[in-house]
A and B are shown apart, each in its own frame.
Chain A
């Protein structure tokens, strides 16, 4: 391997850029962690006590024992994963059709689907609540997941379509000539080649589901069904409840399962990407 001065300069610039970005993205989290580990007395000492003198885990135990936090976390994980899987199942065929077929009004269909994304869930919420309550889907994880899916499908369709566009059409056509039908082309060729796109769409929907607030806030009232996005808000709760250090611990805990899931997935995603390249 030859190392030119230009490459070395590039490496230094890369490191410098990554360092700056790392500070930008990590400082709020470091601050949060520092707060969460402090006792009541040290909270107001600012950056001088970035590393607390008397670190404590009490705030974490308080959050995890005093309320239903673990249940909130499990609910959020369930809702966001189910909705991400559902989204992919529903959006992938449509994305394939948009990527491969020529049909009348294709552009209009695509914009129409995107237009759904543009309608702020805010105002939909009141009619949505009335509608779902008529369907008897209040306090039901099924109903909530279906709404998450409806919210996520437009973006996933667009992302997957964009990704599939990058896969040469001649591949399908070769297979079609070999006697495959469209469905098996889609399942055997296009989907495996789209793994990186599918993986990133999956992460995106899981995370969108994870931080959903309005939908579960309206559709779920039973505390045992509430996901974390609403749970943390309930926790920040009443005027005589919250204190900075406990809230910081709650915020951190709300992120931890997602981080773990992501770290686990990341390996999967990376291997999927490399596998795709080799197989292709």
Chain B
């Protein structure tokens, strides 16, 4: 064991050393010549040159090289972000207040309101044309716009949730909750685990499920940002949506282990391993399934909009990433806007097949003309973003706790919902 590890270590070190001969324009934490006089610090996610997918890494490296060649005299310092989004974003907020924020950074769309409220972002309005802003989907435009009408970030990609299925086992699209349960039970008869979804303490648990609540017209918060998801008007819808999941588990249409799933990769894993025929996942997983399955196996898979309580009450959560500027140097803010425009607004969407936020981009790039991406674009029309309010992370946390209690049978649905509601209201009162 030790020998092979050492061999791997040695091989890797050797590989890592070879290309250093000429100065690289791109290293893991720098883009552009290291002696360039102007420097912008950009903090990013895996959506960049150090993506762990080799194709994407190469594609981004090319985009970044082009970008830096278009802006002589500049270099970018890249900082990587970890995967725990709420923790990461809380840290960045704290850094911004201490004046240590990066000049420019990727900000998750659902925490954007925190940053807007804290007043740490710089306006990007001067650098984007009104027509470009008007092309943004409404929920996106609302998300980036501040109280003063200026835009404070460029939201470049969006995603949504769909129901994936293996056509061999579940030939017909489940349209309603009842269909879904029947399909799940049928897949169990065929030796599968049943329908899978995120159900542990994880943001995706709340987010993936919320479409079931929103589809019925439910609302999480009122205009002032106060939680109302279990008030007189919404409680019934909320309870119904929770009971839908509860029933899936109790009837055996979903396995008990859904309460341990807290990662989209777990869903991919089960699909690739051939232990499930149905799961609730994100649009980006289509490409991941394709990458990890044999073509004939992948051909059996398809997806459809999330089912609703009735066929016409369907919805899905939509998220995505933005680029925002923190620097007090206007030149760097402009550079940040240029980065958002030249790398992310369009080219990055096409590279990763991440859904664009501008309607016109769907026609511009051929990848979005594929049948799958057209379907995603259609589903986006009933999409709903998480409410841009400060209390959302805690509402999500409470939904995750409630889901765990309900799906394991540790608490009655009504009691668990009431607990979650009360805790959210208490937290709201303290914000």
Q: Footprint of A on B, CB under 8 Å? A: 1, 4-5, 7-9, 11-13, 15-16, 28-29, 43, 45-47, 50-54, 57, 77-84, 91, 94-95, 98-100, 102, 264-265, 269, 272-275, 282, 284, 288, 292, 352
Contact = CB atoms under 8 A, between A and B. Distances in A.
A64 B98 contact: no
Contacts of B84: 233
A230 B51 CA distance: 17
A273 B236 CA distance: 70
Tell me which of A62, A126, A236, A241 has the highest count of chain B C-beta atoms within 10 A of its own C-beta.
A241
Contact of B7 (A57, A217, A239): A57
Given A33-B1, A60-B8, A223-B28, A44 B264 contact: no
Contacts of A217: 82, 91
Interface of A is mostly: helix
A51 to B, nearest CB: 12
Nearest to A239: B264
A233 B46 CA distance: 12
Nearest to B265: A242
B52 A237 contact: yes
Given A57-B7, A223-B29, A240-B53, A133 B100 contact: yes
Contacts of B47: 238
Interface of A: 33, 37, 40, 43-45, 57, 60-70, 126, 129-130, 133, 138, 217-218, 221-224, 226, 230, 233-244, 246, 252-253, 256
B4 A57 contact: yes
A230 B275 CA distance: 33
Given A57-B8, A66-B52, 20 more contacts: A44-B273, A44-B275, A57-B11, A60-B8, A62-B52, A67-B50, A69-B12, A129-B98, A130-B98, A217-B82, A221-B79, A221-B102, A222-B79, A233-B83, A237-B82, A238-B83, A239-B83, A242-B52, A243-B265, A252-B5
Given A237-B82, A240-B46, A218 B91 contact: yes
B12 A60 contact: yes
B260 to A, nearest CB: 15
A261 to B, nearest CB: 13
A241 B284 CA distance: 11
A129 B95 CA distance: 8
Nearest to B5: A256
Nearest to B266: A244
Contacts of B273: 43-45
Contacts of B13: 64, 70
Contacts of B57: 66
Nearest to A263: B2
Contacts of A242: 52, 83, 265
A222 B42 CA distance: 11
A57 B352 CA distance: 27
Contact of A66 (B4, B50, B102, B292): B50
Nearest to B78: A223
B100 A221 contact: yes
A239 B12 contact: no
Contact of B82 (A37, A44, A68, A233): A233
A64 B292 CA distance: 22
A64 B16 contact: yes
A242 B272 CA distance: 15
